[in-house]
Structure 1
Amino acid sequence: MTDQIRWKQRLHRLSIMAFAILFFLSWAHTAQAGIVYSLDRNHATAGETVHINAVVFNNTSNAMDWVAPKTIVLQWRSEQGEPLRTIAHRVEGPSSVSIPVNNFVQFQWRAVVPQSTSGLQAVNVEGDGTLLALDTNTLESARVASVPATGPVLDAEKSDPIYGDAVAPEHMVAQAGASHTAGPAPISSQGSTPNLGFERFRNAISPYEPVYFDVGGQDNRMARFQISLKYRLFTPDDPQHPSFVDGLYLGYTQTSLWDLHSDSNPFIDTSFKPSLFWRRDAIYRPNESAFFLGLQSGVEHESNGKSGEDSRSLNFAYVQPEFNYRLGHGSTLTFAPRLKHYFSMSENPDYKDYVGNVDWKLRWAQDNGLVLTGLYRHGKEGRNSTQLEAAWPLKRTFLNMNGYFHVQYFKGYNETLLGYDQKTGSQVRFGLALVP
């Protein structure tokens, strides 16, 4: 038995053992997501503006997308009085966020204390059962020094003077989507759903691999771009406690190398990569630990769609454990080696000699900040490949636009599937990334 066959058998056994252990851990893990409200102070008199703070946390096993509503409805109750309802308006800032595993984000809304309130008030976001205490007594009777507002007060939304009470009319409450039974929770949607089929599709589709368009390299006129997405096959009945099948996805990635300096600007090669896989961002997370373990495993086909001598295709099954560590100041370090087993390789049986059986991946990502990624492949007889990438959000530049400024460096083999056995010199490209 050759060393190569022994290595294949060991790799296969290792993959099965890793998947079995991590699968067992996924069933033993419990997680949750939620939102916690608080007031920015404990005393304010009628006509003053208060802020409602919200912490949205994600302790589930997958990253979570959430959209903060523009307005929320507050209920005000004294010890004897009927509830009053006012509108609180979200403070400026991003409304749509992606919350990583074992992380949280903060939002804030501002509201005016109704002029008809007095004494100790129990305040809550309509639909949420948490009661917040606010003392609205005047200076003479309050424990905390304050004075009542005189004359016009400020509108919580526009900062313009208003007269009369801040109590919201019924049509404003309805526009805010308030409900006595369900408030703005991380897993709930806001507003109506006029097209249920489209909403289901939109909720099931999400980014997969990086999406970018870069230009540079040879003669500074070679473009490399990639599009990628994944589709969740099952919608969880309980997103906070997904079942095993809820982690099944269809994936699709397409990578192209485009010659911009030759006549007719031909595409040198394009790789089409459909896949079926199972994924969970956090399959194991010790209590109170900054470490969590994710897992992805599946099968992938890759081909360049050409015929004859230029035809290239391959298939492989893989297991990809992901070792994540939450660092201080809001960043995550991820080490994610992908262990691959090739099959049905009749067109290019020596492919693995140039790329190896493991993709070594390392990623460091700041929340809403810099993203650095590295990929290393080790083939036989020194056939190595290195790809390094950096992305910086354009929202944090003078352009104030969506997307990321993207830089990519590549050197080695398999820049294209057609030329997997040809070594490429150092290539540096710059461009725009939608998903880093």
Structure 2
Amino acid sequence: MTQPSIKRPGAARRGNRSSSTRLRIATPLLALALASGLYTGVASAGMSYQLDATQASPGETVRIKGMLFNDTDNALSWTPPQNLVLQWRNEQGKVIRSLAYLDTPAQQVELPINNFAAFSWKAVVPTEARGLQALNIEGESVLLALDTSPLQESQVAGTPAFTPVVDAGAAPPGSTQDPPLPDSVVAAAGANAEQGPRPAAPTTMAAADSSSAAFENFRNAISTYEPIYFDVGQKGGTNARFQLSFKYRLATPKDPARPGFFNHLYLGYTQLALWDLDGDSKPFVDVTYNPSLFWHKERVWSPAEHSPFYVGLATGVEHKSNGKSGADSRSVNDLFIQPEFRYRFSGGSTLAFAPRVKAYFGKPDNDDYAHYAGHVDWKLRWAQDNGLVLTGLYRQGTEGRNAMQFEAAWPLRRTFLDMNGYLHVQYFKGYGETLMGYNQKSSGQVRVGLALVP
């Protein structure tokens, strides 16, 4: 694991060296102590890990839960790794290595004193894994256990404990067995004196897990797509512009390390609205509904395995409509292809250039749409890790018609508010702020608000 760094005030530089040394020494020791339940309370910071299951068969997914804790005198700053390298070891010493994948995009965590943060990585049990596996996270002093035998055949996770509870450590000198505890002591602990259940979830827990499986599958397949924000401006009366957007993965790969072609297929949905907050009934000026079906892969090509430059691709079909009828009806369909050129800077930021080229079809309500919106959305984005995000969009139609949009977002966790989301500022000028008004030109409008996804 990359060692968590401690953020210290500028006036407290004298203690940096000794504290850093103490942290490096304490972290591996604490990981071992936490794994065995022997944490002694020494002020330090580090990670502890555990598996969310005791048994899983080859091909099934398990999760490794990580807990980052900060028991030092200063705030802690750390970014979780996107992947963990796992070593699966059986009784014969055979080793299989695989990757575990962070459930959420890796973002820097700012952890106050006496706080903790939870993380989760998912991993698929290797096809060749058999029996009881000792699971090690490379670079960590952590050893976890998982029984990969089918539950009905397992001698570890599938076998009840037909044995009494003993008073460990109470055997007299020279004895090779600990004496059983009195039945009354065991009963007071809520256990059976003669046998215990196998190490699996109770029936009530299993039922709860089964009922939530559909939601868990949905949660794992859904992710962010376009920005999500709510901004308010004051030009020509108070008005708001907001957008909701997400994408849904149609097929989750059995092995995240080797996704197939169809594992990159998504359903997308974006909804953009302009809202008049000064009108008598606070009417919506226009709403654009934008479903889509597309294929997307973030890294299709790069000059080298670990090159900071890489190229991705998105291509598909989308429909836009304002959901109205008669003279106010607007709709347009397009096929698009979007190459994505990204460069990852060593300082922790990414520059992305993603022009979207569109070919329109089936637009009976507005045959001249391309004259105002053009055939290319020129998009440029620069994003710091847990920092400033700048985005620019430009469209060029015919006869000098164009539109431009600039956005800036700053994480609110890095302000006195210390809350989720981003402070969001947006500027729009030109044609097509709404689908109904695609052929109307808007003068420059600045809006400020909250972004959940910048």
TM-score normalised by length of structure 2: 0.60
Partner of 2:68: 90
Q: What is residue 226 of structure 1 aligned with on the other side?
A: 243
What's the offset of the Cα at 1:196? 1.2
Q: Does 1:343 align with 2:361?
A: yes
Distance in 1 of aligned mates of 2:350 and 2:422: 18
Tell me how many residue pairs correspond in the alignment. Answer: 302
Match of 2:403 among 357, 368, 385: 385
Tell me, yes or no, if the aligned pair for 2:107 and 2:385 is still in contact at 8 Å: no
Quote how far apart the aligned CAs of 1:99 are.
5.0
Q: What is aligned with 2:135?
A: 127
- Structure 1 residue 72: Cα displacement: 2.0
**Structure 2 CA distance, aligned partners of 1:269 and 1:50?**
56
2:48 corresponds to = 71
Alpha-carbon distance change, 432 to 105 in structure 1, aligned in 2, over 3 angstroms: closer
**Do 1:331 and 1:365's aligned partners in 2 also have CA atoms closer than 8 Å?**
yes
2:287 corresponds to 1:285? no
Aligned equivalents of 2:66, 2:358: Cα separation in 1: 52
Amino acid at match of 2:288: S
Indicate the residue corresponding to 1:361 in structure 2.
379
The Cα of 1:398 is off from its aligned counterpart by 0.6
> What is residue 248 of structure 1 aligned with on the other side?
265
For the residue of structure 2 that corresponds to 1:289, the secondary structure is coil
SS in 1 for 2:399: helix
CA distance in 1, matches of 2:302, 2:349: 17
Residue 98 of structure 1 and its aligned partner are, at CA, apart by 9.2
Q: Please say if residues 80 and 106 of structure 2, whose CA atoms lie closer than 8 Å, have aligned partners that are also in contact.
A: no
Task: Give the match for residue 258 of structure 1.
Answer: 275
Structure 1 residue 397 corresponds to structure 2 residue 375 = no
Quick one: distance in 2 between partners of 1:106 and 1:402? 13
Structure 2 distance, partners of 1:273, 1:261, is: 26
Q: Confirm whether residue 314 of structure 1 aligns to residue 322 of structure 2.
A: no
Contact 1:39-1:132 within 8 A present in 2 as well? no
**Tell me, which stretches of 5 or more residues in structure 1 are unaligned?**
1-35, 55-68, 75-86, 111-125, 135-170, 172-191
Look up the equivalent residue of 2:436 and give its one-letter code. Answer: L
The whole-number CA distance in structure 2 between the counterparts of 1:251 and 1:98 is 28
1:421 is matched with 439
Query: What is the aligned counterpart of 2:426 among 390, 408, 415?
Result: 408
CA distance in 1, matches of 2:383, 2:4: 31
User: Counterpart of 2:296 in structure 1: which amino acid?
Assistant: R
Is residue 28–residue 140 contact of structure 2 (8 Å, CA) maintained in 1? no
Unaligned runs of 5+ in 2: 6-17, 32-45, 52-64, 71-75, 84-100, 117-133, 143-188, 190-208
Partner amino acid for 1:399?
L
Partner of residue 27 from structure 2, selected from 42, 46, 50? 50
User: How far is the alpha carbon of 1:262 from its aligned partner?
Assistant: 1.7
The one-letter code matched in structure 2 to 1:283 is: V
2:27–2:47 CA contact under 8 A, matched in 1: no
2:312 maps to what in 1?
294
The answer to whether the 8 A contact 1:39-1:50 is kept is: no
Q: CA deviation at 1:313?
A: 0.2
**1:38–1:53 contact (8 Å) kept in structure 2:** no
Shift of 1:327: 1.4
SS at match of 1:49: helix
Residues 72 and 219 (structure 1), Cα distance of their counterparts in 2 relative to 1, 3 Å cut: same
Contact 2:108 2:386 (8 Å CA) reproduced: no
Q: Deviation at 1:195?
A: 1.4
Q: Distance in 1 between matches of 2:28 and 2:245?
A: 40
SS at match of 1:218: coil
Please tell me the residue identity of whatever aligns with 1:395.
R
Distance 1:321 1:304, change over 3 A: same
Going from structure 1 to structure 2, the CA distance change for 1:354 and 1:248 (only over 3 Å counts) comes to same
Deviations 1:160-209 (A, max 9, x none): xxxxxxxxxxx9xxxxxxxxxxxxxxxxxxxx776111100000001110
Q: Distance in 2 between matches of 1:133 and 1:348?
A: 64
Q: In structure 2, what is the Cα distance between the partners aligned to 1:293 and 1:344? A: 31
